[in-house]
Chains A and B, each alone.
Chain A
Amino acid sequence: MKKIKIRIEGLNFFYKKKPVLKGLKGEVEEKAITTIIGPSGVGKTTFLMVLNRLYESIPGCMVEGKVEIELNDRYIDVHRLPVTTLRKKVGMVFQVPNPLPMSIFKNVAFPMRLSGIKDKKSIKDKVKQSLKDAFLWDEVKDRLNDSALELSGGQQQRLCIARAMIMQPEVLLLDEPTSSLDMEAALKIAELLKSLRGKCTLIVVSHYTSLTRRISDSVLTLKDGCLEI
């Protein structure tokens, strides 16, 4: 039987008192790729930001309803978890790649630094593995100390996925990860996402259906602020 990773019930989201998401209800399967599609401005990104509470840094946002994540066989409301713990369990990759202004190595190792891990060998090994998992190792292995900002858009996006995956989050949210890339880079990302299926739960927001539909296990449609399965 398929395990449910995220349960959403009666989720309402308001921005400056205006409703964006209305009574959302749905479930996300564990270790599968779930794609959320829908027209522009319908609240797809907002929905992702609710899952890891990134909306909290934007003034004027208000959330009602239940969003539960399964951790160690227990469902916990995301709002009851400390926000930094939640974000380490629920990683996010943005539409436009956002490497930090530091070297490739330091970028990927950044989450380990945040977790207080100091063992150099362990950091080195994990960075290497993460870059390999993101199909980026061969392209950057000789220039790990170069600035991550010098990479191409597609490479930067894979670097961001490697960075998000290094601490093995339980859920990875991807907000239109291919929309700012050319077709070749987008295909690489799609292949990468397929390879991550089974390692963690992936929720991909996409404006374009063709590419993501091919790799998705299930598709949820967000329309007029409501989810349709």
Chain B
Amino acid sequence: MKPFIEKFAEKGFLFSAILSASITISILSFMLFFSLPLFKGGEVAEFFTFGWNPYEGRFGILPMMAGTGIIAFLALFIATPFGIGCSALISVFPKQSFGIFLRKAVEFMTGIPTVIHGFVAIFLLVPFIREIFEKGTGICVLSASIMLAFLILPTIVLFLSDAFNAVPKSYLDAADSLGATPVQKLIYVIIPSTWKGIISGLVLAAGRAVGDTLISLMIAGNALQIPRGLDDAARTLTAHIALIIASDYESPEFKSIFICGLILFFFTTLIVLFLRLLGHFKILRDR
């Protein structure tokens, strides 16, 4: 017979798993419930257009979808190599004291409120970007992507350095004894054997990049357009929700929030599926 503590832990874990799964399903159901009338009434097609102007009765959210996709992708694109580099410095390269310091610094970064990131970006990053492009205000896709990359970097670094630390010592000994340099060890041994961990870290970071509101609200420009360059302003779905949430409950603007929420859900699912597929193909190729 199992001791009480084991039984309690087993039930506790089961309860936690069911609870977290139920919350996710409930949120999805909630959004589906409120957006269902729009689907039924055929109004939903109106949202998948390019123009947003409530005064003219146009409620297209395609520019926000594009803004979300572009900013999140760019942030992930910028943060991933830095994340791998920092994690390698923490876990692979032999300067132990520096690795410990770097990890502490990254852990500290996770505690900085997003609004501070946005605030710092307005005073330091935005003028710099304005100088580079020599036009516009500097409040644009690139500024938002860089700051968002900075925001998701700790997630990637902490996940990856833990994954790198979990590589079996026998693999590292084998590589060391064959004369591998730390970089070769990272590329040929550590990254291939931590592929799943890397994917999980990127999935979390991508989720955070798609879901973040404040950075894009403060420094992406909130323009209702599809950005045609890095120096163009853009509005993300999350920023859009934040901006119009105060409107009348019965208005089509307000109803569009639920479609935005559903699309955010869909975006995150798509990213998770894509990264998981990537990992799956990599594992198959390595066999």
Contacts and interface: CB of A to CB of B under 8 A. Distances in A.
Given A91-B178, A102-B286, A164-B178, A59 B188 contact: no
B193 A98 contact: no
Contacts of B96: 59
Contacts of B94: 56-57
Give the most central of A84, A94, A113: most B CB within 10 Å.
Answer: A84
Say what secondary structure dominates the interface of chain A: helix
B178 A87 contact: yes
Given A96-B170, A98-B174, A147-B287, A84 B179 contact: yes
B29 interface: no
Give the most central of B96, B175, B179, B181: most A CB within 10 Å.
Answer: B179
A144 to B, nearest CB: 13
B189 A114 contact: no
Interface residues of A, number: 29
B267 to A, nearest CB: 33
B176 A54 contact: yes
B173 A54 contact: yes
A154 B189 CA distance: 23
Nearest to B180: A114
Interface in B153-197: 170-181, 184, 188-189, 192-193
B179 A98 contact: no
Contact of B170 (A87, A92, A98, A102): A98
Contacts of A113: 188
A54 B188 contact: no
Contacts of B172: 57
Give the most central of B171, B177, B184: most A CB within 10 Å.
Answer: B177
Contacts of A225: none
B179 A87 contact: yes
A94 B173 contact: yes
A164 B180 contact: no
Interface in A14-70: 52, 54, 56-57, 59
B171 A57 contact: no
Contacts of B175: 100
Say what secondary structure dominates the interface of chain B: helix
Contacts of A102: 192, 286
Given A56-B94, A94-B173, A101 B179 contact: no
A91 B175 CA distance: 11
A163 interface: yes
B16 to A, nearest CB: 32
A85 B181 CA distance: 10
Nearest to A163: B178
A108 to B, nearest CB: 11
Contacts of A54: 173, 176-177
A84 B177 contact: no
9 contacts: A57-B172, A57-B176, A84-B180, A84-B181, A85-B179, A87-B176, A98-B174, A99-B174, A100-B174
Given A114-B180, A160-B174, 15 more contacts: A52-B177, A54-B173, A56-B94, A57-B94, A57-B176, A88-B179, A91-B177, A91-B178, A92-B177, A94-B177, A98-B174, A100-B171, A100-B174, A113-B188, A163-B178
Interface of B: 94, 96, 170-181, 184, 188-189, 192-193, 286-287
